[in-house]
Homo-oligomer: A and B are copies of this chain.
Amino acid sequence: MASADVPPTIAWAGDRIRLIDQRRLPAELVVVEATTVEELCEYIATLAVRGAPAIGVAGAMGVALAVVRGEDPAAAGERLRATRPTAVNLGWGVDRALGAADPVAEAQRLAVDDVERNRAIGRHGAPLFASGANVLTHCNTGALATVGWGTALGVLRAAHEAGTRLHVWIDETRPVLQGARLTAWECERLGIPATLVADVMAAALMRAGRVDAAIVGADRITANGDVANKIGTYAVAVACHHHGIPFYVAAPRSTFDHTLPTGDAIEIERRSPDEVTTIAGVRIAPEGIAAENWAFDVTPAELVTAWITEDGVFRTPPGPDVAPAP
């Protein structure tokens, strides 16, 4: 596998954290190091490392970094938690490390665990797709969004490796272009046939009968099954609903937040208007125009066909006591 050449998205290295700088993909594959919690927070805030499962492990490793540096782990946890509000995994990772007798060991355990859970998500989800299927995906949910393997793209990877002939429609995913930059790069490396499209083409493809299913990841899933995910996910779900196309969400159980009843309670991160008014450093909009930039949206549970987790495929949202994650 070409993908075997790629280092883990994020890894513990004794007294520092190594991570792929995803801001520089697909132009170059560069591994950078965070030796302080501040550096790590900056990497998370600027999306050098992103993806709910990946930043969950980053949160745990950040607490571990504070421990080995002799700093206050609780204060480090608060700083990490504040970098991005929407993905529940970040706070979850911080809490797991803070609550462990050995935060350093716990962070490393979560990293190993992440890959295993993703592979299980892939095993459960792969049979949902028939050979010949055209599957639309939004944002990046592959190895780069996790420690390794991936969630939604990991399901398609598992199906592909099991011999199911799939073709993937990749939404470019404005404004940060995780689809064009990262998912396209991963599909090429994995040899999964894929075609990149502007996000606005997805609905037209569905009307043309060119989409058999859609699959996305999640940043937070509330008790009723509502799904916060990358901005644009909701538009895909609405279009799938209109065309009677299955809409799947793939995420580990750590993405489920049973403390929130519905998606209305999820804090949606607002990011800089510059992500909309400039692309790759080039100004595209006139100076002075206002821009609004919600990083996530919420898809109500009634638009979700199934939630694919490491514990199986659920046609109704799994409660906290349903086959709980260990």
Q: Determine whether the beta carbon of A173 is less than 8 Å from that of B201.
A: no
Q: Determine whether the beta carbon of A200 is less than 8 Å from that of B290.
A: no
Q: Please, how many residues of chain A have a CB less than 8 angstroms from a CB on the other chain?
A: 55
A184 is contacted by which of B26, B281, B289 (Cβ under 8 Å)?
A: B289
Q: A204-B297, A285-B180 are in contact. Are A292 and B195 (CB under 8 A)?
A: yes
Q: Determine whether the beta carbon of B235 is less than 8 Å from that of A235.
A: yes
Q: Chain A interface secondary structure, helix, strand, loop or mixed? A: mixed
Near B by CB (< 8 A), chain A positions 268-308 give 273, 276-277, 279-286, 288-294, 297-298
Alpha-carbon separation in the docked complex, A281 to B284 (Å) = 11
Near B by CB (< 8 A), chain A positions 152-184 give 170-175, 177, 180-181, 184
Q: A200-B199, A238-B242 are in contact. Are A26 and B286 (CB under 8 A)?
A: yes
CB of A239 within 8 Å of the partner chain: yes
Query: How many copies of the polypeptide does the oligomer hold?
Result: 2
User: 1/0 per position for A258-273, CB-CB distance to B under 8 A?
Assistant: 0000000000000001
Alpha-carbon separation in the docked complex, A286 to B172 (Å) = 12
A196 is contacted by which of B242, B276, B282, B297 (Cβ under 8 Å)?
A: B276
- In the complex, what residues of B have CB within 8 A of residue A26's CB? 285-286
A279 is contacted by which of B27, B187, B207, B284 (Cβ under 8 Å)?
A: B284
User: 1/0 per position for A180-203, CB-CB distance to B under 8 A?
Assistant: 110011011000001111111111
CB of A129 within 8 Å of the partner chain: no
- In the complex, what residues of B have CB within 8 A of residue A238's CB? 203, 238-239, 242
Q: A231-B198, A238-B242 are in contact. Are A286 and B185 (CB under 8 A)?
A: yes
Q: A195-B292, A203-B297 are in contact. Are A181 and B284 (CB under 8 A)?
A: yes
Seed contacts A188-B286, A196-B277; 10 additional CB < 8 Å A-B pairs: A174-B200, A180-B284, A181-B285, A185-B286, A201-B231, A201-B292, A201-B294, A204-B235, A279-B282, A281-B282
**Which positions in A face B, CB cutoff 8 Å?**
26-27, 170-175, 177, 180-181, 184-185, 187-188, 194-204, 207, 231-232, 234-235, 238-239, 241-242, 273, 276-277, 279-286, 288-294, 297-298
